[in-house]
Amino acid sequence: MTQPAVTSWYAVQTQPNAERKAVFNLTRQGYHVYLPQYLRRRRHARRVDMIKSPLFPRYLFVAVDMAAQRWRAIQSTIGVSRLVCHGDSPAVVPALVVDQLRAREDGEGLIRLAKRPMFAPGDKVRVQDGVFDSCLGLFEGLTDGERVAILLDLLGRKVRVLIDADFVTAA
């Protein structure tokens, strides 16, 4: 009687921006791979796009049966930088971690992230991009999910400005 395959999850560090290349090559070699992704807003040339991005840049998960599969082959796969190890042996990622990530996926296989915590009215904030780059202001409130209202001190008076929420950080 043969023993059932015991497969565990392991973390793989990929080369920069090579997550999809690593997934392709690992899958081609017969490994089961999981790359958690989410929708990220990208601003480029005055356009805003929603693109799929890795939840953990430069990392993905691979399921390996250590008794049946050669795990050292992962190290030399195109797109892979290294298999995360403790000493000489690969570090096991608890299956619960992968299961919980998959439980947060929507119908398209994308992980829905909770809205990031925003500021309380009156909190000091700094603008990171755009016309008001590096300006300090006071958080006033949310207008919609994408923009925030802040009060900037311009020309000696407080001016209410609406800015993309991604461009505001704590001061």
Residue 140 belongs to domain with CATH number? 2.30.30.30
Q: What is the pLDDT of residues 75-102, one digit of tens each?
A: 999 999 999 999 988 999 999 999 999 9
- 50 and 128 housed in the same domain: no
CA dihedral 40→129→120→149, nearest 10 degrees, is -100
- 34 within 8 A of 60, measured Cβ to Cβ: yes
Average pLDDT over residues 27-31: 95
Residue 111 resides in a domain: no
Q: What is the CATH number of the domain that holds 80?
A: 3.30.70.940
Residue with tokens 């209202």: 149
Are 77 and 135 in the same domain?
A: no
- Interval 29-43 mean pLDDT: 89
> Above pLDDT 70, what percent of the chain?
92
CA distance linking residue 13 with residue 97, whole number of Å: 17
Whether 80 and 11 share a structural domain: yes
pLDDT bracket for residue 3 (50, 70, 90) = very low
- End-of-domain residue from the set 70, 103, 136: 103
- Domain shared by 139 and 93, yes or no: no
| pTM given for the model | 0.69
Single-letter residue type at 64: V
pLDDT tens for 118-161 read 788 888 998 887 778 888 889 988 776 667 889 998 888 888 88
Q: How many domains does the chain have?
A: 2
The neighbour count for residue 75, using CB atoms within 10 Å, is 13
Q: Which domain holds residue 161?
A: 124-170
* 119 falls within a domain: no
Q: Residue 36 pLDDT > 90, yes or no?
A: yes
**How buried is 8 (Cβ within 10 angstroms: 0-12 exposed, 13-18 middle, 19+ buried)?**
middle
Kindly state whether residues 33 and 74 are assigned to the same domain: yes
- Tell me, yes or no, whether 63 lies in a domain: yes
Inform me whether the pLDDT recorded for 1 exceeds 60: no
- Residues 86, 145, single domain; the answer is no
The predicted pLDDT at position 158 comes to 87
- One-letter amino acid for residue 149 of the chain: A
Is residue 110 domain-resident? Answer: no
Q: Do 129 and 97 lie in a common domain? A: no
Mean pLDDT of 7-34: 96
In this structure, are 57 and 24 located in the same domain? yes
